[in-house]
């Protein structure tokens, strides 16, 4: 069975960048936590978006039957990474977005009908004499 491996790998790699961007955003949230008070936990959403993007990439490879669902969710998480994870340092956004597009557009390889051809036997040439 074929699988959208390229889409999954791009989404996993993009998710790693989103986790890094989310960690930087969470660090900024800790620094500003004294000022923002109850909104401090919103900065941790970037880490969650990145981890869920990595999970989606793994699901694209493990369960290719739902590739359209995984692709749409990857596109959604790529867009969510913009406000919550510094867009995954922009690289994460682009990789996850491309992985989502590839997952939505992917279709399994289907073999066409098998064509068989019968061989004909050719009679031998008459002896020349």
- pLDDT 10s digits, 31-87: 777 676 666 677 788 899 999 999 999 999 999 999 999 999 999 999 999 988 888
pLDDT for the residue numbered 106: 93
Q: Read off the pTM.
A: 0.80
Which residue is it, tokens 């491309």?
A: 98
Residue 1 scores a pLDDT above 70: no
pLDDT of residue 57: 96
Over residues 6-40, the pLDDT tens digits come to: 999 999 999 999 999 988 888 887 777 767 666 66
Query: Helices (DSSP H) in 37-85: which residue ranges?
Result: 45-62, 67-84
How many angstroms separate the CA atoms of 39 and 16, rounded? 24
How far, in Å, CA of 38 to CA of 59, rounded?
34
Q: Which token pair is 31?
A: 């620094």
Burial class (CB in 10 A: 0-12, 13-18, 19+), 99: buried
């Amino acid at each position: 069975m074929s699988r959208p491996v390229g889409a999954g790998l791009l989404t996993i790699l993009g998710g790693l960048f989103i986790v890094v961007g989310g960690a930087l955003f969470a660090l900024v949230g800790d620094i500003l936590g004294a000022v923002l008070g109850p909104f401090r936990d919103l900065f941790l959403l970037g880490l969650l978006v990145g981890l869920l993007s990595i999970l989606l990439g793994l699901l694209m490879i493990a369960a290719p039957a739902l590739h359209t669902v995984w692709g749409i969710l990857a596109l959604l998480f790529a867009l969510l990474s913009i406000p919550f994870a510094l867009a995954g340092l922009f690289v994460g956004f682009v990789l996850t977005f491309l992985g989502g597009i590839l997952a939505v557009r992917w279709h399994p390889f289907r073999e066409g009908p098998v064509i068989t051809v019968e061989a004909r036997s050719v009679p031998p040439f008459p002896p020349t004499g």
